[in-house]
Structures are given as structure tokens and as C-alpha cells.
Amino acid sequence: MFVEMHPYIGLIEAIKQRRAARAFKSDRIPEVILQEILELAAQAPSGFNLQPWRFIVVQNQQNKEKLQACAFNQRQVGEAPVVLICCGDRRAAEMANITSVIHLGEDEGIMTPSYASYMRSSISPGIQALRDAGLWLSDTLVNLLKQQAGE
Ligand SMILES: Cc1cc2nc3c(=O)[nH]c(=O)nc-3n(C[C@H](O)[C@H](O)[C@H](O)COP(=O)(O)O)c2cc1C
């Protein structure tokens, strides 16, 4: 679904005019606009197209106030009619998700069998290796700091 925005402005003008908003009207956001925003957000590129984002749409006033308390009590969080939480899904590199991305690519006719097999065999071990490297680095740094502190 494509919602035509009025007035229409081009990309360069939109980038130049964009500002962080800190006050919001309480007007309800139409469902069709919310849907469009989420669909556009999902067009963002991601590594191996794993799409590791999950969105939570918060509209309930009590929940927005709980969020406001977690956000340095910034008034605009409770005031905006809708708050979108964008979460990173750490399970994105698990085989179930890789398989569904491969199926998506196959359905669209853009996933070759050799790329599918490359994805199956490379991503999970690759991500595991990155996690291991991260853990090793943080352990090493903690040990170095302890040594420097004379512990
Ligand atoms: C990662 C990130 C976090 C931010 N967090 C807040 C925030 O908690 N509250 C807020 O009022 N603005 C927040 N901002 C908006 C910045 O303050 C704002 O982009 C910056 O002051 C420049 O102003 P402009 O976006 O109007 O050009 C955030 C921006 C970024 C990129």
C-alpha cells in the first residue's frame, strides 16, 4: 500500500528539513500510515538480508508512561500518540531465520542454490566466531585492567 504524502517533497529537501521533534499533537495516527511507516522501515538493507529488526508499536498510554520513565522521563515519549521501539533480534543468525530468508529469495527467483548453501554453511559459524572473539577481547581487557590495578 502506498500512501501519498502532502505536500510532496523530494529526498534532498526532506533530509534538509528533518528535525528531531520534541513535542507532539495527540492526533491519532491512522493505521494505514503506521503500516506504511513499518513497511518502509523494513526496506532498510541488512547483512545477508537477515532483517534482524523487530518493531514494537506502543499506543497504550500506561505503557508509554512506563517507557517515558525509562527514557530520562522525556515528556515527548508519553505525549506522542505512537511510540515505535526498534529491537535488534539476536536470533536473526539462527538456522530457522536463515532458512526463511533463503525461502524468500527462492520465491522471488533471486536465490541461487550455491548462494543458499553458502548462507547455510557460513553465517551461523561466522556469527559464533564473532561472539567468541568479542568474549575473548572483553576477557583480555578485564585481565589487563586487573593487572594494571595490581589485583
Ligand atoms: C542515537 C540518537 C539518540 C537520540 N536520543 C534523543 C533523546 O533521547 N531525546 C531527544 O530529545 N533527542 C534525541 N536525539 C536527537 C538529537 O538530539 C538530535 O538529532 C540532535 O540534537 C540534532 O538535531 P536535529 O535532529 O533536529 O538536527 C537522538 C539522536 C540520535 C541519533
pLDDT, averaged across the chain = 89
Q: Give the burial class of 105: count Cβ atoms within 10 A of its Cβ; 0-12 exposed, 13-18 middle, 19 or more buried.
A: middle
Q: Which residue has the cell 515519549?
A: 77
**For position 72, what pLDDT does the model report?**
96
Q: Give the burial class of 53: count Cβ atoms within 10 A of its Cβ; 0-12 exposed, 13-18 middle, 19 or more buried.
A: middle
- Going through the chain in order, the beta strands assigned E by DSSP cover 53-58, 83-88
* Residue identifier of the C-alpha nearest atom 15 of ligand 1: 20
What residue segments make up the domains of the chain, in order of their start? Answer: 1-88, 93-151
Q: Give the burial class of 124: count Cβ atoms within 10 A of its Cβ; 0-12 exposed, 13-18 middle, 19 or more buried.
A: middle
Q: Choose one of 16, 17, 74, 84 to mutate for the ligand 1 pocket test, by most ligand atoms within 8 angstroms of C-beta.
A: 74
User: Structure pTM?
Assistant: 0.77
In CATH, the number for domain 1-88 is: 3.40.109.10
Model confidence band, residue 83 (pLDDT cutoffs 50, 70, 90): very high
**For position 1, what pLDDT does the model report?**
60
